[in-house]
Structure 1
Amino acid sequence: MKPIAALLVLAGLSTAAPSPNVVQDEQAKRAVWPNGPFVTSGRWILDATGKNLTYAGTNWPGHNDVMIPEGLQYQSIETIVQKVKSLGMNAVRLTFAIQMIDEIYSNGGQDITIQRAFVQALGQANGTRVLNQVLAKNPRFNASTTRLQVFDAVAEELAKQQIYVHLDNHISKGMWCCSGTDGNTWWGDTYFSTANWVRGLSYMAEHGKSWRALVSIGLRNEPREPTNNQALSRSAYNWQSWYGYMRQGADAVHKSNPDLLIFLSGMNYDTTLTPVVQGTALTPGSGRFSFGDFPGYANKLVLELHNYENSIGNCNTLQNNLYRNGFQALTSSATNKFPVMMTEFGFQMDDRTWRGVYASCLASYLPAQKAGWFIWVLSGSYYIRSGTQDFEESWGLLNHDWSAWRSPSYVNGALLGMVKNTLS
């Protein structure tokens, strides 16, 4: 029998070590933005080259009644993304509703047009008027463009400008979120079908394979108690049930798109994940969180928390609350270490509020922890919110027509520095 080396030579293959140029070429391929897929290691997220990274970004809603990313009647997708990029941000949390996927399935696998989406949500006259405004600002679209094609275009432009997409299942029924009585609170609530949720996550994870910028997905925004459904609250609103649902959603995402990081959100409007971090019992049962319950993708899990303690009077108190509620996972004292991101925080965009304890404390705390974040919210206005069309968003980074910053003093006085300090 000929030696292996001789066989390789006869086959025209070399046994020599790769040349330095070949190695550099392979490294360059791996280093092409976004340098994915990402994985976690303890408290860190690592790109494909092993470099630590985190997110500094904003929320761009697409989950409300129309179920199309907001603002396109006022500005082009390119202009809006340029605004985000000008802040130095590297990520956008793009929200969607499960209802959008439900309607695709009920429509024979075809998404509905943006013309139909606007008319359904805003009425014939106003829907047609806003549609025409969208088409004027975004001439690549027409009345037959579908909602998902708009999402595709947003993701494409974010990739062009090298901004990561974090996709977020914000709600089941497309509407403004959140309250304890909106029917979207917890698995089994009026509009919150577990089966449809799993199907929707799978669908969007699979669809997102074509989005170069997509690197992560949040399983559910702000799980909360169904305050108008005491039977559901008593039977299922607990950590034991939460864990089962999170495992179910995470499995569905990973099977559909194994490249994605998967964000786990906590209870009580995603303000606490303490038993997960501390490894205590997931009540009312005695089970505990285990990375082993996520076989093959334990290194894809990230924790997300929200915080809106706007009236807090002491920064130390806020920091202690954040540590206790989940940011402890970034430290050596945690039983279970994770990357932790604050995927929502926000406040009035005026010349005063950002100077207060809450906003200024987060502006220093989050970068110091190298904890990722998404400020709520980019939107200067909404197509419709809670029944009011062309709703003014006073918390929006952008003004009503999405043309300029609502609070230039905040952007220049705090936000630009917060981004820079987080990513440096």
Structure 2
Amino acid sequence: MHSPNMKLRIAILALAGLGAAAASIQTEQNEGHGIAQRAAWPNGPFVTDGRWIRDASGVNLTYAGTNWPGHADVMIPEGLQYQSIATIVSKVKSLGMNAIRLTFAIQMVDEIYANSGKDITLEKAFVQALGQANGIKILNQVIAKNPIFNASTTRLQVFDAVAAELTKQQIYIHLDNHISKGMWCCSTDDGNSWWGDKYFNTTNWTRGLAYMADHAKSWPGFVSIGLRNEPREPTTSATSKATYNWQSWYTFMKRGAEAVHTANPAPLIFLSGLSYDTYMTPVVQGTALSPGTEKFSKADFPGYGNKLVIEIHNYETGATSCPNLQNNLYKNGFQALTPSAANMFPVMMTEFGFAMDASTWKGVYASCLATYLPAQKAGWTIWVLAGSYYIRSGKQDYDEDWGLLNHDWSAWRSPGYINGALLGMVKNTLS
């Protein structure tokens, strides 16, 4: 057991952006209690080998986790006005999960650059997102639940504290660039859909990826990063729409991957496909990246071709046939797990989800994924942990009926799903 002073020291180091130092203290405490083997966690950096992710010892591993949004208007992880970071992470850990997909917005990094390299405070972040009165009210609630923070704490310091707690509880951190402008995602007309769209500045995107990959060097649990959530056809930008194709996708993905790897060569790099990241067929099958003739090659990622992972999203919630759903998943990207693929990769379903009520989880879609993903030993992160949002699409304190947690993040929204399916899905994936 840690003394209060030791806990405070770890928290302060995390808030200062010194997550590695905090984890070092954690390791020292473990060793002092005769459990030095934990010092190796997460035993990275990870690499890929065919369909597998392997740790530094060559052991196969996969992810079973959930999404914790931090990309919306306030641009910090959600739920902190209701529960402490430690409480939320403990909820995730209680499921046996080993991964969090932690989302962020490029706007956060843009504002740091615009502010002479300094991040803005929580007070400013809440006020600019929620208005003066409610912004201060919610800020005070966040501080009450997380007293290591104050009005002058910055957004990145909150991310640091979340990362420190995830590291403490040995949960892998997968960063995800979810959006450029901090807001609810996603639609074809939100200005964030494709490179060159209203808010999607390509130069700022690569700069933001590099910044976050570099910053996360101080997080011992940081093992991977997603280059962009759900690329999709833009409907409001003719210039951006003209480049919506696999040929341009390849140019942009190579550019983003290079930015990450140059800034930090350790993390795995997740590639997301077209049409809301629902398919990666030409990449997996090695066909031409239209309208050009070039084909995907890991050699085009020099020195880090063994860092690439495919991520797929699926929301076929109206599925009526599990075999049909499985066939769709196979052709859309999961073929990469098999020798029949021209390019083998680990595949992760980084988003799937459904209403957390008493019965939806018993339907074809949810029950099919609950068996299919563990059987493939494919990683996954369910959408979404959040029981509510600070603000979503203009509505403050928005209730998330797809959230694993209830509105105040205190309990599971659908205990039936947790006990009847999710716990088993986690166990079977990681066994």
Amino acid at match of 2:276: Y
1:342 to 334, 343, 349: 349
Show the counterpart of 2:378: 371
How far apart are the structure 2 equivalents of 1:339 and 1:237?
25
- 1:188-207 alpha-carbon deviations (Å, 9 max, x no partner): 00000000000000000000
Query: Is 1:329 aligned with 2:336?
Result: yes
Show the counterpart of 1:48: 56
2:118 to 106, 110, 131: 110
Query: Is 1:320 aligned with 2:327?
Result: yes
Amino acid at match of 2:410: S
1:213 to 212, 221, 225: 221
How far apart are the structure 2 equivalents of 1:230 and 1:324?
30
Are the equivalent residues in 1 in contact too, given 2:280–2:332 (CA < 8 A)? Answer: yes
Show the counterpart of 2:30: none
Query: Is 1:68 aligned with 2:80?
Result: no
Query: Is 1:383 aligned with 2:362?
Result: no
CA deviation after TM superposition for structure 1 residue 102, in Å: 0.1
Amino acid at match of 2:337: L
Are the equivalent residues in 2 in contact too, given 1:263–1:301 (CA < 8 A)? Answer: yes
Give matches, 1:109-128, under 5 Å.
Answer: 109-128=117-136
How far apart are the structure 2 equivalents of 1:31 and 1:115?
36
Amino acid at match of 2:268: L
- 1:369-400 alpha-carbon deviations (Å, 9 max, x no partner): 00000000000000000000000000000000
Show the counterpart of 2:142: 134
Query: Is 1:227 aligned with 2:241?
Result: no
TM-score (norm 2): 0.91
Show the counterpart of 1:300: 307
Moved over 3 A (4+): 28-31
CA deviation after TM superposition for structure 1 residue 322, in Å: 0.3
CA deviation after TM superposition for structure 1 residue 229, in Å: 2.4
- 1:126-146 alpha-carbon deviations (Å, 9 max, x no partner): 000000000000000000000
Please give the root-mean-square deviation of Cα atoms over the aligned residues, in Å.
Answer: 0.9
CA deviation after TM superposition for structure 1 residue 228, in Å: 2.1
CA deviation after TM superposition for structure 1 residue 62, in Å: 0.2
How far apart are the structure 2 equivalents of 1:232 and 1:125?
38
TM-score (norm 1): 0.93
Are the equivalent residues in 2 in contact too, given 1:31–1:49 (CA < 8 A)? Answer: no
Show the counterpart of 1:404: 411
Are the equivalent residues in 2 in contact too, given 1:398–1:404 (CA < 8 A)? Answer: yes
- 1:56-84 alpha-carbon deviations (Å, 9 max, x no partner): 00000000000010000000000000000
Amino acid at match of 1:232: S
How far apart are the structure 1 equivalents of 2:223 and 2:191?
30
Give matches, 1:155-174, under 5 Å.
Answer: 155-174=163-182
Give matches, 1:183-202, under 5 Å.
Answer: 183-202=191-210
Are the equivalent residues in 2 in contact too, given 1:43–1:338 (CA < 8 A)? Answer: yes
| Unaligned residue ranges in structure 2 (runs of 5+) | 1-35
Are the equivalent residues in 2 in contact too, given 1:30–1:49 (CA < 8 A)? Answer: no
Are the equivalent residues in 2 in contact too, given 1:354–1:410 (CA < 8 A)? Answer: yes
How far apart are the structure 2 equivalents of 1:386 and 1:31?
43
Distance 1:421 1:394, change over 3 A: same
Amino acid at match of 1:358: Y
| Unaligned residue ranges in structure 1 (runs of 5+) | 1-27
How far apart are the structure 2 equivalents of 1:358 and 1:227?
29
Are the equivalent residues in 2 in contact too, given 1:30–1:48 (CA < 8 A)? Answer: no
Are the equivalent residues in 1 in contact too, given 2:68–2:385 (CA < 8 A)? Answer: yes
CA deviation after TM superposition for structure 1 residue 30, in Å: 10
How far apart are the structure 1 equivalents of 2:367 and 2:249?
33
CA deviation after TM superposition for structure 1 residue 227, in Å: 1.6
Query: Is 1:148 aligned with 2:156?
Result: yes
How far apart are the structure 1 equivalents of 2:355 and 2:201?
34
- 1:150-187 alpha-carbon deviations (Å, 9 max, x no partner): 00000000000000000000000000000000000000
CA deviation after TM superposition for structure 1 residue 31, in Å: 7.0
How far apart are the structure 2 equivalents of 1:158 and 1:232?
37
- Partner of 1:236, secondary structure, is coil
* Count of residues in correspondence between the two structures: 396
Show the counterpart of 1:261: 268
- 1:301-353 alpha-carbon deviations (Å, 9 max, x no partner): 00000000000100000000000000000001000000000000000000100
Amino acid at match of 1:204: M
CA deviation after TM superposition for structure 1 residue 363, in Å: 0.1
Show the counterpart of 2:289: 282
Are the equivalent residues in 1 in contact too, given 2:198–2:237 (CA < 8 A)? Answer: no
How far apart are the structure 1 equivalents of 2:373 and 2:121?
40
Identity %: 77
Show the counterpart of 1:420: 427
Amino acid at match of 1:175: M
How far apart are the structure 1 equivalents of 2:424 and 2:325?
20
Show the counterpart of 1:271: 278
Give matches, 1:348-363, under 5 Å.
Answer: 348-363=355-370
How far apart are the structure 2 equivalents of 1:382 and 1:72?
10
